[in-house]
Amino acid sequence: MNLFTPVETEKLRMRNRIVRSATAESMADEDGNVTDRMIEFYKKLAMGGAGTIITGFMYVSEKGRAMKRMTGISKEKHVEGLSRLVREVKKVSREKWEDDVVFVAQIVHAGRQNHPFEDPVAPSAVLEGLTKVMPRELAYDEILNIIDDFVEASLRAERAGFDAVQLHAAHGYLLSQFISPHTNRRKDEFGKERAKILLDIFDGIRERSEIPVMIKMNTVDFIPGGLEIDEAVRIAKLLDKAGFEAIEVSGGMWESALYTKYNVVCQNVKKSGEAYFADYAFEIKKNVSIPVMLVGGIRRKDTAESLLRRIDFISMARPLIRDAFLPEKWLKGDNESDCISCNKCLKYISSRELACYAEKD
């Protein structure tokens, strides 16, 4: 078994174990519609050889938008562009690899990490220490509407031809806020069981569709009183039991930087070392039967291969911004990404299109 051995999850078959982790593109038009630029961008990724491609986060409702030029999946009108995107990506994959790529739509509500901070909402009114945004606590009925928005977005993803959806419950966005004891202090049932919103979204989708549902979730927030691994394991077990297709393991919120003094989601691999969430992913893997994907700081094929002894998929974002063809290069014998974790891709994501700006200002 190696990186390029095909693998099956409950409902999907992947032709290798390399996942392109969700990465915001900043390429949509003002209304969140897919653009030609975006299609070209994903075609390149499909040619590059990752067996699974997860889109950048897409907003499930206008209120859940995280930034400008973000892709939308909140309205029926978005489906046409998304369908074109899926069709073109699948076509180039089949032409080049004589095999399908698994194309996954990541869906999100930004919660208190929205832009430009119009009526930010959260499970509880807890100050976002970094931006100093004080969100409004969601009313019970508003939560039910948001669950509905995630369900409707998933059905749109299915109609557009995506193979699966991935709920974004990491990095401090709304679903991540719900599973964190720091940001969710509710006294109602959405606070007593902080994973309830995830389970309700799953059930809502299953009532109407069999589309596979993956999740990217925090296993640790790096915030005092925030999510810790033991609680993440407990939640992961619930997701496993519910029938989620796979769990991608990550960590950190915007606010974490107050305590760590660095970006914990996108760490500097020279300082942190490779695969900086590996121990958390191993802990999850020990406790669930569904496949586990690990993201964060994977830069060498050797590392990826050895990780696969303990988890099911390796997932990468910055290395594939640097070079969409890295999987093909690894297949042909290369061993290393030349991404230097400078994070300029991230620095410019709200003002420019997604690209590697390492050598540019």
Ligand X SMILES: Cc1cc2nc3c(=O)[nH]c(=O)nc-3n(C[C@H](O)[C@H](O)[C@H](O)COP(=O)(O)O)c2cc1C
Residues that bind ligand X (CB under 6 A): 21-24, 56-57, 106, 168, 170-171, 216, 250, 265-266, 295-298, 316-319, 345-346, 349, 354
Which one, 21 or 256, has the nearer CB to ligand X?
21
Q: How many angstroms separate the Cα of 310 from the Cα of each of 159, 290, 315?
A: 35, 13, 14
Query: Could you tell me which of 273, 228, 292, 296 has the C-alpha nearest to residue 22?
Result: 296
Which one, 7 or 266, has the nearer CB to ligand X?
266
Which one, 25 or 128, has the nearer CB to ligand X?
25
Closest approach of Cβ 341 to ligand X, in Å?
A: 7
Confirm whether 357 is a catalytic residue.
no
Closest approach of Cβ 278 to ligand X, in Å?
A: 12
Which one, 58 or 186, has the nearer CB to ligand X?
58
Among candidate residues 173, 259, 262, 348, the one labeled active-site is: 173
CB 194 within 8 A of CB 153: no
Closest approach of Cβ 38 to ligand X, in Å?
A: 13
Who contacts 267 (Cβ-Cβ below 8 Å, separation ≥6)?
Answer: 276, 296, 297, 341
Reply yes or no: is the peptide bond before residue 116 cis, omega within 30 of 0.
Answer: yes
Closest approach of Cβ 320 to ligand X, in Å?
A: 8
Closest approach of Cβ 218 to ligand X, in Å?
A: 10
Which one, 105 or 265, has the nearer CB to ligand X?
265
The distance of Cα 227 from the centroid of its chain, to the nearest Å, equals: 18
Which one, 239 or 316, has the nearer CB to ligand X?
316
Closest approach of Cβ 19 to ligand X, in Å?
A: 10
List residues with catalytic annotation.
173
